């Protein structure tokens, strides 16, 4: 009887992708294909890794390719392709460019590896995972985002540093989006079973939480020319290993929620059982009111970018529902029928104009994917996200934030140019 190793593909042979490939090879998780568009570069990196195998004592086969079709037959595809963050750049700033790159990759995976499990690494992670699911049509158990393992690892390292203890004894927990609204959970973060709330004063816990939320930006600012790759690479490999070995480890991952944590149609980082089928089970923690509020805030903070470079932070309406728009003289926004795949209303205004009802260029319910894939067609507009509350459009169109507590509308800002 013939047995074959798992076939693993890594799309994007930059720092993160090559680190993932090397560490998967070290663990002999399967035969690896490293793919990138830069001529010969993935072949050179793959050859270099292969030549390390006699020293590191692994037998995994590693090949490099410039052809995306070489994902063919892969059991797991890790997508790291896209531009990296630069100092001062948020993950949301990356969306416009990276969405186009990811769409092309997902189309190829769908054609050549239709049974693969997708692990998304490209930032902004939560939106890219949403796009991969929508674009591929794969079931939700086969589309995962790597974020929570990394965020939790960062929290664990900071806890170990604060307590001067081994990282091996720390079990961290971070929920929510992969950004500065992520939700570290001190109550569920333990050292040999002891919650850190029993070991550290609140001010130190608050500092750890904040540093965890800004962990990626801290490294970007120190490196100056790139972003983290060692810890992200190790985090991806932990997920791949649990899947290909059917370890059924409980690891935080960005997955589609369909009622868990009171959220429907949302992609959030939550603890999951990962096994041979990808997502085997979502673990639902019992959160207190404060933790629920933080997770709700993380869920609401989704950055949307149109094809012409406009950006807004849009509020989710009705917990994943939709709205209908009364296009009468006052342009009121009214609650409508529930439908989880269309959950935002946006309004366009001329740049610099107040968001008054007689200045509306467009007001419509949209899917997140429509904003990313189709976008809006007026480059001189700003975007405003509507609330569930009925009310006329009001307030300045050039605000910089929005949240569920705004009186009527949250406001967006233009996306900076991306080189």
Tens-digit pLDDT profile for residues 28-42:
999 999 999 999 999
| pLDDT at 2 (0 to 100) | 59
Residue 111 confidence (pLDDT): 97
Distance of alpha carbon 83 from alpha carbon 222, whole angstroms: 18
User: Residue 298: its pLDDT value, please?
Assistant: 79
pLDDT of residue 96: 66
70 shares a domain with 49: yes
388 in any annotated domain: yes
- Statement to judge: residues 154 and 291 lie in one domain: yes
Of the candidates 112, 133, 178, 313, the residue annotated as catalytic is 178
Indicate whether 119 and 159 sit together in one domain. Answer: no
What are residue 249's DSSP bridge partners? 274
In a domain, 266, yes or no: yes
Q: 145, 175, 197: which is the final residue of a domain? A: 145
Contact 328, 350 (CB under 8 A): no
pLDDT reported for residue 385: 37
pLDDT of residue 44: 98
Where b means 16+ CB within 10 Å and e means fewer, 120-130 reads bbbbbbbbbbb
- How far is it, in rounded angstroms, from Cα 113 to Cα 284? 31
Residue 61 shares a structural domain with residue 83 = yes
**pLDDT for res 266:** 83
CA dihedral 207, 209, 212, 217 (to 10 degrees): -60
Residue 76, domain member (yes or no):
yes
Tell which of 145, 164, 195 closes a domain.
Answer: 145
Task: Report the pLDDT value the prediction gives residue 381, as an integer from 0 to 100.
Answer: 32
Nearest to 176 by CA among 38, 35, 332, 296: 296
For the chain, the farthest-separated pair of C-alpha atoms sits apart, in whole angstroms, at 75
Residues 172 and 272 in one domain: yes
Number of domains in the chain: 3
User: Is position 313 annotated as part of the catalytic site?
Assistant: no
Q: What is the pLDDT of residue 178?
A: 81
> Quick check: is 2 in a domain?
no
Q: Please check whether residues 141 and 162 belong to one and the same domain.
A: no
What does the alpha-carbon distance between residue 315 and residue 320 come to, in Å, rounded to a whole number?
10
Looking at the fold, whether 160 and 288 belong to one and the same domain comes out as yes
Q: Among all chains, which residue has been given the structure tokens 């319910």?
A: 365
Q: Can you tell me the distance from the alpha carbon of 184 to that of 150, in angstroms, rounded to the nearest whole number?
A: 12
DSSP state for residue 94 in the 8-state scheme: G
Assess whether 204 and 264 both reside in one domain.
yes
Q: Note whether 272 and 342 are within 8 A (CB).
A: no
Residues 66 and 93 in one domain: yes
Inside any domain, residue 419? no
Task: Please name which of 115, 112, 111, 107 lies closest in space to residue 138, comparing C-alpha atoms.
Answer: 115
Residue 190 has what pLDDT?
Answer: 98
The Cα 136–Cα 65 span in angstroms is 22
Query: Does residue 131 form part of some domain?
Result: yes
- With a CB cutoff of 8 Å and minimum separation 6, the contacts of 180 are 213, 214, 217
Position 340 scores a pLDDT of 33
CATH code, domain with 181: 3.90.110.10
Question: What's the domain range around 71?
Answer: 7-145
> How confident is the prediction along the chain (419 residues), in pLDDT tens digits per residue?
557 899 999 999 999 999 999 999 999 999 999 999 999 999 999 999 999 999 999 999 999 999 999 999 999 999 999 887 666 666 556 676 788 889 899 999 999 999 999 999 998 888 889 889 989 999 999 999 998 999 999 999 999 999 999 999 999 999 998 877 899 999 999 999 999 999 999 999 999 999 999 999 899 899 988 889 999 999 999 999 999 999 999 999 999 999 999 988 888 999 999 999 999 999 999 999 999 989 887 776 543 332 223 333 232 222 232 222 222 333 333 333 333 333 344 444 443 444 444 444 443 444 444 433 333 333 233 333 333 222 333 333 332 223 222 222 333 333 233 22
- Hey, what are 327's tokens? 């296009």
Instruction: Determine the Cα–Cα distance for residues 129 and 320; give it in Å rounded to an integer.
Output: 17
**Domain-embedded: residue 99:** yes
Residue 407: C-alpha distances to residues 243, 302, 312, 330, 355 (Å): 46, 19, 17, 17, 13
Pairing of strands 62-65, 31-35: parallel
Report the CATH number at residue 32.
3.40.50.720
User: 133 with 153, same domain?
Assistant: no
Q: Are residues 138 and 155 in the same domain?
A: no
Does some domain include residue 221?
yes
pLDDT of residue 397: 34
* Last residue in a domain, options 119, 145, 171: 145
Please tell me whether residues 184 and 251 are part of one structural domain. yes
Q: Write down the pTM of the prediction.
A: 0.74
Helix (H/G/I), strand (E/B), else coil: 106: helix
Of the candidates 14, 35, 31, 18, the one whose C-alpha atom is nearest the C-alpha of residue 105 is 35
Burial class (CB in 10 A: 0-12, 13-18, 19+), 61: middle
């Amino acid at each position: 009887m013939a047995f074959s190793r798992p076939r693993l593909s890594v799309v994007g042979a930059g720092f993160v992708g090559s680190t993932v490939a090397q560490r998967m090879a070290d663990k002999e998780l399967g035969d690896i294909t490293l793919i990138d568009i830069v001529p010969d570069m993935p072949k050179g990196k793959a050859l270099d890794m292969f030549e390390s195998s006699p020293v590191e004592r692994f037998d995994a086969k590693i090949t490099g390719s410039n052809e995306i079709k070489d994902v063919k037959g892969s059991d797991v595809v890790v997508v790291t392709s896209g531009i990296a963050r630069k100092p001062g750049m948020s993950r949301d700033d990356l969306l416009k460019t990276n969405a186009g790159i990811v769409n092309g990759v997902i189309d190829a995976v769908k054609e050549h590896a239709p049974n693969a499990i997708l692990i998304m690494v490209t930032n902004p992670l939560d939106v890219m995972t949403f796009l991969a699911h929508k674009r591929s049509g794969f079931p939700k158990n086969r589309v995962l985002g790597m974020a929570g393992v990394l965020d939790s690892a960062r929290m664990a390292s900071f806890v170990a540093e604060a307590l001067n203890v081994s990282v091996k004894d720390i079990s961290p927990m971070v929920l929510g989006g992969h950004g500065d609204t992520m939700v570290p959970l001190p109550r569920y973060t333990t050292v040999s079973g002891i919650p850190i709330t029993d070991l550290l004063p609140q001010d130190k816990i608050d500092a750890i939480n904040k540093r965890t939320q800004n962990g990626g930006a801290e490294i970007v600012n120190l490196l100056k020319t790139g972003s983290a790759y060692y810890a992200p690479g190790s985090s991806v490999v932990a997920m791949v290993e649990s899947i290909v070995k059917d370890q059924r480890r409980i690891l935080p991952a960005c997955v589609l929620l369909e009622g868990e944590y009171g959220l429907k149609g949302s992609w959030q980082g939550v603890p999951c059982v990962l096994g041979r089928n990808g997502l085997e089970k979502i673990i639902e923690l019992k959160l207190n009111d404060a933790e629920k509020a933080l997770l709700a805030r993380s869920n609401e903070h989704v950055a949307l970018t149109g094809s012409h470079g406009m950006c807004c932070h849009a509020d989710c309406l009705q917990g994943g529902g939709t709205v209908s728009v009364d296009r009468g003289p006052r342009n009121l926004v009214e609650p409508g029928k529930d439908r989880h795949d269309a959950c935002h209303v946006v309004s366009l205004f001329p740049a610099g104009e107040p968001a008054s009802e007689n200045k509306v260029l467009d007001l419509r319910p949209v899917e997140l994917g429509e904003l990313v894939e189709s976008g809006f067609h007026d480059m001189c507009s700003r975007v405003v996200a509507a609330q569930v509350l009925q009310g006329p459009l009001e307030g300045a169109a050039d605000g910089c934030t929005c949240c569920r507590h705004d009186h009527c509308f949250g406001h967006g800002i233009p996306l900076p140019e991306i080189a």
